[in-house]
Amino acid sequence: MKYLFINSVAGFGSTGRIAADKCRELMAQGHQCVLAYGRKEANCADVPTVRIGGNRDILAHVVRGRVLDGMGFGSRQATRRFLRWVSAYDPDVIWLHNIHGYYIHMGELFAYLRRCGKQILWTLHDCWSFTGHCAYFDYAGCDKWKTQCGSCPQKREYPKSLLLDRSAGNYRKKKTLFTGIPNLTLITPSHWLAGLVKESYLGDYPVEVAYNTIDPKIFRPVAGDFRQTHGLEGKRLVLGVASVWDRRKGLEDFLRLAEELDDSYRIVLVGLTREQVKALPPGILGLTRTDSPEQLARIYSCADVLVNPTYEDNYPTVNLEARACGTPVVCYDTGGSRETLGSSDLLIPKGDRAALLRAIKQVCEETP
């Protein structure tokens, strides 16, 4: 069979690696696959890819999103060119992943999906598909998505709008576009997200829960010189990893931890921007995002604990990666996080920094 995957990135970040790994799995079974992406490609030398649009298309789309709250409704011409390519490729199965990210036009894409007669799979990695604006709403405590979005309390969160709030209209557009698609099955990586989908306007679709997996050939206990290179010998290494660090991911919690942990500990954060690295206090080593999963596996392997104080999440892949490298996880109880943990990991009430500190010390003192 011929598969077409569509995701914002290819082989990069959690969703990009998930989509690329699924292509590899299917190709090993004899299927033909192409991974279409919009923004960035890495680690995909063995996976056929095609890019949707270019940098100028993305820039124009970003401007539309920032000013008009129109993310998902730019890149019209790039999307039309891509859909002509799709018609020529003629896949048997179209498998959507993250379709937000300033690279594809929802109206054009779903008009094609409605009429194409193909089998459609859609893996949801967050809640954006059934809200008028945001990808998550836990932090804001908002449940407007159940009936009708509007006056969005997270207008300044991803996908950030600096001017207009069109969450009410976006909600109506997305509801019209995303519902009633023939032969569409939704896939969620957690039972938590599957439950939310059933409460949304997507609730009439069949929903399957399929936990995300990682490549055990890459994410496994491996030796490295990370501690020596960064002067961390003899320290208890507290690791945090994220694609984007902000308050939702618990950056402020790590800043507090740096004040409360003594000098026998060292916090390492991976995935920061250069500006965030420069602003870090003593006691935290900051690293920018790495494109290399092998390098990431070496960092996981030398840590004493992965701390994931995320306030909103679906099924955090970093927990899986750390555990596969032999590193215990301490995580807030949010979203589908509990579904990623094993018996040796610790689940902490969301936002309980005192309990988080105690759990870190407990794990590190038990680590040989």
pLDDT digits (tens, 9 = 90+) for 21-35: 999 999 999 999 999
Strands 207-209 and 184-188: parallel
Report how far residue 234's alpha carbon sits from residue 253's, in angstroms, rounded to the nearest whole number: 24
Residue 368 pLDDT level (bands cut at 50, 70, 90): low
Q: What is the pLDDT of residues 172-212, one digit of tens each?
A: 999 999 999 999 999 999 999 999 999 999 999 999 999 99
Q: Are 101 and 10 in contact (CB under 8 A)?
A: no
Q: What pLDDT sits at residue 53?
A: 97
Mean pLDDT of the chain: 95
> How much is the average pLDDT of 210-226?
93
The whole-model pTM stands at 0.91
Structure tokens that stand for 286 in this block: 């900051």
Which domains does the chain possess?
2-209 (3.40.50), 226-366 (3.40.50.2000)
pLDDT of amino acid 13? 86
Average pLDDT over every residue of 25-49? 97
List Cβ neighbours of 61 (8 Å cut-off, separation of 6 or more): 71, 74, 75, 102, 103
Yes or no: say if 280 and 288 are a contact pair by the CB < 8 Å rule: no
